[in-house]
Amino acid sequence: MFSALQPLAQILLFPAGLFLVINGIVIEWIDRKLVARLQNRIGPRWFQPLADLVKLLAKEEILPAAANPWLFIGLPMIALAGCLTAALYVPIMGLQPAYSFSGDLIVTLYLLSLLTLSKGIAGWNTTNRFSLVGATRGFTQLFAYEAPFLLALLGPAIAARSWQIDTIIQRNAGSWIILTQPIGFLVALIGLMGKLELPPFDAPEAETEIVAGAMTEYSGRGLALFNIAKSVEFVVGLTLVAALYLGGVNNPLEYLLKTLFILVILISLQTLLTRLRIDQTVGLWWRFGTILVLIQWMVLIVWKASAL
Amino acid sequence: MRFGTMLSDIFQSLFQAPATQKYPFERTETPQRLRGKLTWDPERCSACSLCAKECPANALEVITVDKANRRYVMRYQVDRCTFCAQCVQNCRFKCIQLSSDDWELATLDKKSFTQYFGRETDVDTVLAELGDPNAELPGAD
Amino acid sequence: MNTLTSLEQAEKILAPWTKEAARPEPNRLDIIISGDDVFACTAALKQESWGYLSAITGLDLGPDAGALEALYHFCQGAAITTLRARLPRQGGSLPTLYPLYPVSSFFERELSEMFGITVINTPDSNRLFLPDDWPVGVFPMLKEFDPKVEQPRMETSSQTFPSQDGQKFYVPIGPQHPALKEPGHFEFTVDGEVITEARMRLGYVHRGIEKAVEGQNWVQNLYLLERVCGICSHTHATAYVMGVERLAGVEAPLRAQAIREVIAGLERIHSHLLWLGVSAHEAGFDTLFMYSWRDRETVMDILEALSGNRVNYSANIIGGVKFDIYPEQAATIRTGLEYLEERIRHYLDIVTSDTLFLQRTRGVGQINREEATHLGLLGPTARASGVLRDVRVEAPYGPYTRYPVSIVTSEAGDLEARFIVRLKELFVTINAIRTILDNLPESEMSVRVPRRIPAGETISRVEAPRGEAFYFIKSNGSDKPERIKIRTPSLCNWTAVLSKAPGSQLADAPLLIAGMDPCFSCNDRMITVKRLEHS
């Protein structure tokens, strides 16, 4: 019976579920606090993201009259479910991924994209002008960065000759792919920023243009779930890039240090750069992102071929 | 092509204290000329009422208790005052001052915004006559 | 050419239609014409490139006189030519000046809704400041209108939300929107991300100040007018007291005037730093926003130490200023200015070299010099397009004759140019303040001014941080003004947004709006502009 409970515990408590939510909250706090300090402000106290979450869950959820209620209530849940499930395949806290099978790299990325897809459909569903523009921008951005990001993450996969995250980490253990594939790391990092809609790629949620993008009509529980999903996606994304490029994560300490390292880089970039217009984002990705990652791939292929 | 032009600023901020002041736990010293709440000294007043006449917000009223003995009371509505200091400018005897310390004027009780200045006995006399501190003064517009 | 020659030229140009000409002040020419000739006179002035239309004032001469008067003010340098047309109190009409001066559309709408004058063929006759459900036939600026009586509201369909065409996609920005610091309504019709049409509605912060000033005395009005705007408050107060002092036949003492210029300069620094932060925030560059607002605290602390408040400095009184600048304060100001100068230099470097920021501002919203002149733009928005329009330089008033400032322009005309012009202006301002502090003349702080201001009319123009603020002040000899007309710069600059929005991206819209430094409070003291441009 105990073995039957184990998957449940894995999904609800660790590594997914509660642990991941708390992890997400901590990452969100670090993000907000560090951005604030870099802007010479004080920033929120440690319990702020938790307080925000509790407050949102306690608030009334207002259902727009023209929206489909099933979609409206269900989409945040799908988004969160997708992100939480993706965590089962990555080495959270440096421990072995809970589940592993061949090709789970692609599945993980797909699950992470569920968030963007849900947001987009939610934006269309709520029929608010701003949500529609935000949803359109979200989808446009998805088409732009998804391919280069996936290709960049496949770089280490090629080096390890496997598409299974666990195997990639084991086979690449000790060697820091960032040194052999620096361009790939760069694209992966920027791709992560696009995926998480961090500035400068936060056009889908540009506060000064379209209020809150696809999230405009959400309040209460729906908004809370989307926010948690975003934080969880942040954690999973960081873990993935750290594990694949920074020589694997074998124990909690290494995990913390490596993810924090990437987090600090992302936060610095966030603070330094202006928001790009959506057409500039797409232009940037389809010109530089794709070309860079293709160059990286060609180098890889040539090197692999010569190694044989 | 320059990216990250503000790098020097954000780097310096890591070693500086935040620019935000943790009010109300930290307070800067207010400048001496700050236009805070009004105070009135009845001793020197001659009831010329220039302060009340030219107040843009009609926040001041001068009430005569005893003209022969120069006993006056001033009624000041804090919530109407715009802290423009025209009354201070107008007063020839420097009876009116705008405090530089007392500027935290928020309160939960609106009635406390109506304030009477003067010698205690005079103020009591006026209040006794009026009944309600916020009542219209006799002869007021 | 100097003022006298300008006025003589104007008189000659307008001779064919002149019923009567007068020179009420050394720099003013009043020409009385018939209402029907307004268009012809304006066309003649425009033909000779004499000045630009600065404002249109409506005057109610009273039920006894039984007439209204419409005044058209044209300014060239320091010279002001006013065309005066008498109209009956009801049913008067005037021709529109829209084909010659597009900005006149706003002025004419204000004239018709406030006084009941019909302007023939004006392109837009919707309400500008008054709400859509204001009763028809009730004109607030007529003398018999009592502001204390509540007006019954009409049942009407709002012009702000017209019948939605199913094919078009409207994105509303405002009245409540994170991009706007004050309420105003913009409606952009978009096709994907490209704007095809732009409409606008003003008047959300209309407070009826022009009517209110007629019920208070001259001193009380100073404080009311100071609060027309928060960040140009000192310029409004200065324009007012300069006008009243001129009517009273006094001039403020030299030291007071110098102090006025110091405060105006500090206010300009405050205003431009605020604008820099707001524009950076609209572009998504929050770090620049935070840092420029942090540095703005320096100038606000200086102003608080000097005047007693961070905004609404209450520095002016009719006849002078309230407070002096002592040497210790001058030293504090100098230290603060040194710090600010270094920081502003840093910000200028950022806005001209940061690649991503330039991608949002270079080439966006480009207006060339001819367009800017034709649209009637004012202030730094016009100067960024190469138009040499700055009241402090063209028509120096008060202290600016002794402590002049130089004009800062740019030829590029895009958003980046507007950043550059505003920041470079601050260097000029800082140097001017330093010069004044080094050369403060000795004199008293104020002169006495009578409570009853002698009857007369005067025009006061000052350069607010946003452009030219125009004041027409009329006294009837009592202790209350007869009429004060205020035309603020933001009202003229809206055309910059509306003409440039179609064809731009939706993401550029907040920057276009912010780029002209709008002050809704200023212009609402008392509209929909429909621009149909097919992409």
Among the residues of chain A, which ranges form H helices? 2-12, 18-38, 48-58, 69-86, 104-125, 129-160, 165-171, 177-180, 182-195, 207-210, 221-245, 252-272, 278-284, 290-307
C-alpha span between C281 and C417 (Å, rounded): 18
C3-146 and C209-523: same fold? no
State how far residue A273 is from chain B, nearest Cα, in angstroms. Answer: 6
**Inter-residue long-range contacts of C410-413, CB under 8 Å, 24+ positions, other chains counted:** C410/C383, C410/C384, C410/C385, C410/C386, C411/C369, C411/C385, C411/C386, C412/C366, C412/C384, C413/C366, C413/C367, C413/C368, C413/C369, C413/C372, C413/C384, C413/C385, C413/C386
Query: Which of A207, A211, A278 lies at the smallest CB-CB distance from C507?
Result: A278
Residue B36's closest chain C neighbor by CA?
C308
Q: Does C137 touch chain A (CB under 8 A)?
A: no
DSSP, residue by residue, C401-413: GTS-------S--
Helix axes A221-245, A18-38, angle to 10 degrees: 80
pLDDT at B34: 93
User: What is the CB-side half-sphere exposure of residue C320 using CA atoms within 13 A?
Assistant: 15
* High-pLDDT (> 90) share of chain C, %: 65
Residues of chain A found within 8 Å of residue B22, distances taken between Cβ atoms: 42
The tens digit of pLDDT for each residue in C380-419 reads 999 999 999 999 999 999 899 999 999 999 999 999 999 9
Q: Is it the case that residue C162 has pLDDT exceeding 80?
A: no
Helical (H) or strand (E) element with C186: strand C185-191
pLDDT at C187: 85
C-alpha span between C470 and C487 (Å, rounded): 5
C-alpha span between B41 and C324 (Å, rounded): 24
Residue B11's closest chain A neighbor by CA?
A38
CATH superfamily, with its number, for domain C209-523: Cytochrome-c3 Hydrogenase, chain B (1.10.645.10)
pLDDT at B140: 47
User: Which among C70, C82, C144 is positioned nearest to C110, based on CA atoms?
Assistant: C70
pLDDT at A146: 87
Q: What is the 3-state secondary structure (H, E, C) of A56-121?
A: HHHCCCCCCCCCCHHHHHHHHHHHHHHHHHHHHHCCHHHCCCCCCCCCHHHHHHHHHHHHHHHHHH
b/e map B15-34, b = 16+ CB within 10 Å: eeeebeeeeeeeeeebbebb
A215 in Cβ contact with A119 (< 8 Å): yes
Q: What are the pLDDT tens digits along chain A (308 aa)?
A: 677 788 888 778 877 788 899 999 999 999 999 999 999 999 999 999 999 999 999 999 899 998 999 999 999 999 999 998 898 888 888 788 888 888 889 999 999 889 999 999 999 998 888 898 899 999 999 988 888 898 888 888 888 888 888 888 888 877 788 888 888 898 999 889 999 888 889 888 887 788 888 888 898 899 999 999 999 999 999 999 998 888 878 888 988 999 999 999 999 999 999 998 888 888 888 888 888 888 888 888 888 788 76
Find the range with the poorest average confidence among C98-107, C117-126, C245-254, C258-267. Answer: C117-126
What number of C-beta contacts closer than 8 Å exist between A and B?
33
pLDDT at C159: 58
Residue C289's closest chain A neighbor by CA?
A39
The whole-chain average pLDDT of chain C stands at: 89
Q: Does A273 touch chain B (CB under 8 A)?
A: yes
Chains touching chain C through at least 3 C-beta pairs below 8 angstroms are A, B
State how far residue C413 is from chain A, nearest Cα, in angstroms. Answer: 21
Q: Which of A208, A270, A282 to mutate: most C Cβ within 10 Å?
A: A208
User: Which among C530, C497, C495, C501 is positioned nearest to C514, based on CA atoms?
Assistant: C497
Q: Is CATH 3.30.460.80 the classification given to domain C3-146?
A: yes
Query: Which of A133, A200, A276 lies at the smallest CB-CB distance from C506?
Result: A133
pLDDT at C502: 87
Q: CA separation (Å) from C84 to A265, A280, C33, C40?
A: 67, 53, 6, 14
Enumerate the domain spans of chain C.
3-146, 209-523
pLDDT at C535: 29
Which of residues 340 through 369 in chain C touch A, CB cutoff 8 A?
Answer: 354, 356-357, 359-360
Are residues B85 and C306, on separate chains, in Cβ contact within 8 Å? no
Rounded to two decimals, the pTM is: 0.93
Find the range with the poorest average confidence among C71-80, C202-211, C419-428. Answer: C202-211
Residues of chain B found within 8 Å of residue A273, distances taken between Cβ atoms: 3-4
Query: Comparing C174 with C270, which gets the higher pLDDT?
Result: C270
C380 in Cβ contact with C418 (< 8 Å): yes
| Burial (0-12, 13-18, 19+ Cβ within 10 Å), C138 | middle
Residues of chain B found within 8 Å of residue A38, distances taken between Cβ atoms: 10, 13-14
Predicted ipTM of the assembly: 0.92
Are residues C179 and A280, on separate chains, in Cβ contact within 8 Å? no
Residue with tokens 């008060």: C398
Residue partners of B23: CB distance under 8 A and separation at least 6: none
The residues facing C264 across adjacent strands are none
Query: Which of A40, A132, A280 lies at the smallest CB-CB distance from C359?
Result: A280
Residues of chain A found within 8 Å of residue C290, distances taken between Cβ atoms: 39-41
C-alpha span between A152 and A299 (Å, rounded): 13
